[in-house]
Amino acid sequence: MASWVLSECGLKPLPQIYPRPRTGALLYKHSKIRFLHSNKGLTDLRFTAKQISSGCLRERNWGLRVSVPLTVSPIEGEEEEREGKINGVNGIEEEQLGFNPGAPPPFKLADIRAAIPKHCWVKDPWKSMSYVVRDVVVVFGLAAAAAYLNNWIVWPLYWAAQGTMFWALFVLGHDCGHGSFSNNHKLNSVVGHLLHSSILVPYHGWRISHRTHHQNHGHVENDESWHPLPERIYKSLDKVTRNFRFKFPFPMLAYPFYLWGRSPGKTGSHYHPDSDLFVSSERKDVITSTVCWTTMAALLVGLGFVMGPIQLLKLYVIPYWIFVIWLDLVTYLHHHGHEDKLPWYRGKEWSYLRGGLTTIDRDYGLINNIHHDIGTHVIHHLFPQIPHYHLIEATEAAKPVLGKYYREPKKSSPLPFHLIGSLIRSLKKDHYVSDTGDVVYYQADPELN
């Protein structure tokens, strides 16, 4: 069953003159597009396939470096003539000029970093812990109130609220995994394990695969979370698997299965120390997290005997699945469902910067504060070491540099029901990408709609 599962921070930009891509292959052979690369400060960061496959990017020191580029390949003052196929975009005339989201941006990662105020990089462990205390108090308060009232009018409200709070706990554990919770590695690990184990997430197993996602965001083959299937893999799936993968609401229940078996075309489990996800130096970390996960599962079984399975179902199991829906919804919409097609990359066209710019910010209304502004995602992907409570300010400071590469999120009503439409539309048309081409776009399978 796991095989069908989806795989799961002050300069004015130069004007864009690149033609937008059109359906099918588009070869840039009539004119040269030149870009000047500077070696000052941080530059576009690239990983080779050899580096990634050899595991050299996965270090045992998993503190502050869990999600930032570890290898820099500067390109000094070169002129490149890029010839490659750009697939899967609605027809646009080649001579039509406009913003091309797949073109290299006229700014560097260092330009964005320089625009962000210095205090946005400061991690305050006391402030981070205050959010943990707040969320834990709310979780136990909701459970106590629901158990006391024990009313079928109250239970659905409890499930929605508690499932959302479980998701909030995950986001704080997510900060621990990035090292944005504090500068203390042991504190990050202890808090991360307590938060993630309580909602049945293997902390280190998830942390390592999520690091892989950030290091390779926007890369067709090397990304780990919600990356597109190449056409050949997509067409090898049977009809039932395709429906489970793309028919609402099934993809919103994918996360537990992904933890066990990843996505089509990839092998390994987040619980197994010898999985393809990990290197040998991470074995003890994975075992530790799996033991913590197993302990929590055993505790839940024991509670089932004490309070009865129905009470456990109402107090924990249903909120757990609401949490899963939140996780799948939010992470999917970080990378899909924009009105304009977003590029994905391969080969020399991919860079850390260009991959990060294909993520999307989302507005969740009243939920923004509850789930710690996780919808502020573009800056988080580029600079995951920024604490969540500085992401909004950092994003506002970076917008003048990002220009059109930043897609302003649609404003939400108090509850983000508008995102359901974005989700369903994306599931209907974002199915696979071409097997060839270094800049590719999602294409739709007409037989699936």
Distance of alpha carbon 165 from alpha carbon 187, whole angstroms: 22
Assigned domain for 396 exists = yes
What's the pLDDT score for residue 97? Answer: 58
CA distance 239 to 237: 7
180 within a domain of the structure (yes/no): yes
Average pLDDT of the chain to the nearest whole number: 83
Concatenated DSSP letters of 64-90 = TTTTS--------S--------EES--
**Domain presence at residue 193:** yes
Whether the model clears a pTM of 0.85, i.e. scores above it, the answer is no
* Within a domain: 41: no
Judge whether 209 lies within some domain: yes
Provide the pLDDT for residue 392: 97
In terms of residue numbers, what domain contains 352? 119-448
Residue 359 lies in a domain: yes
Angstrom distances, CA of residue 206 to CA of 10, 270, 307, 323, 429? 35, 6, 31, 16, 28
Positions of the chain with pLDDT under 70? 1-97, 449
User: Does 417 map to a domain?
Assistant: yes
Instruction: Report pLDDT digits (tens) over 91-109.
Output: 333 334 588 999 999 999 9
As for how many domains the chain has, the answer is: 1
Give the three-class secondary structure for 367.
Answer: helix
Cα–Cα nearest to 296, from 205, 208, 195, 209: 195
Whether 56 maps to a domain, the answer reads no
Give the model confidence (pLDDT) of 40-60 as tens digits. Answer: 443 343 444 444 444 444 443
